[in-house]
Amino acid sequence: MIHDIRRWSNCLEMKDSAVDLCELCDSAAGETLWQDDLCRVVLIEDRDYPGFCRVILNRHVSEMTDLDAATRQRLMRVVFATEQALRQLMRPAKINLASLGNMVAHLHWHVIPRFTDDRHFPGSIWSEARRPGAPRSIDGAALKQELRELLQAVAE
């Protein structure tokens, strides 16, 4: 709880206008699969993109270069573990990694499993849809377990 309050106040301090709130400071923004003091991995509920995960920093920071090198590396280890877990479980044609933050300037990475028959392939998921998209699902519990094992293996 104290942690949440700290995140919240960081967010308000960092924003130019305190009118709108930062949704990534304000909520988990998905089903939490894994977390530590630095960041969390959440599973997004997206009908077209099962397995769509976000790795979200637990602080309101805007750019990767706002972090020191060790912290950057730690964050990317979590991003790569998420990629690896999704590859193992879903065998996608491609993984898309993206960090945009134009709408929400709170550091987060999208980790998106892509398939040749998905709604937008080979375009980005933010492009014009090309087809209805083949139905697919993800076993959230298995993903959680896989992530936990991978991240335990890389922990210092």
Which CB sits closer to Zn ion, 6 or 130?
A: 6
Q: Two tokens at 18?
A: 């305190």
Cβ of residue 71: shortest distance to Zn ion, in angstroms?
16
Which contacts (CB < 8 Å, 24+ apart) does range 83-89 have?
Answer: 83/111, 84/150, 85/143, 85/146, 85/147, 85/150, 86/51, 86/53, 86/111, 86/113, 86/143, 87/113, 88/146, 89/51, 89/138, 89/139, 89/142, 89/143, 89/146
Residue of closest CB approach to Zn ion: 22
Cβ of residue 9: shortest distance to Zn ion, in angstroms?
11
Which CB sits closer to Zn ion, 98 or 105?
A: 105
Which CB sits closer to Zn ion, 12 or 142?
A: 12
Amino acid letter, residue 80:
F
- Judged by the rule CB under 5 A, the positions of this chain that interact with Zn ion are 11, 22, 24-25, 60, 106
Bridge partners, 34 (sequence order) = 41
Q: Give the separation between CA 82 and CA 114, rounded to whole angstroms.
A: 14
Which CB sits closer to Zn ion, 60 or 120?
A: 60
Cβ of residue 26: shortest distance to Zn ion, in angstroms?
8
Cβ of residue 29: shortest distance to Zn ion, in angstroms?
10
Cβ of residue 125: shortest distance to Zn ion, in angstroms?
22
Q: Give the separation between CA 76 and CA 82, rounded to whole angstroms.
A: 10
Which CB sits closer to Zn ion, 26 or 36?
A: 26
Q: Identify the helix (H) or strand (E) that includes residue 12.
A: helix 2-14
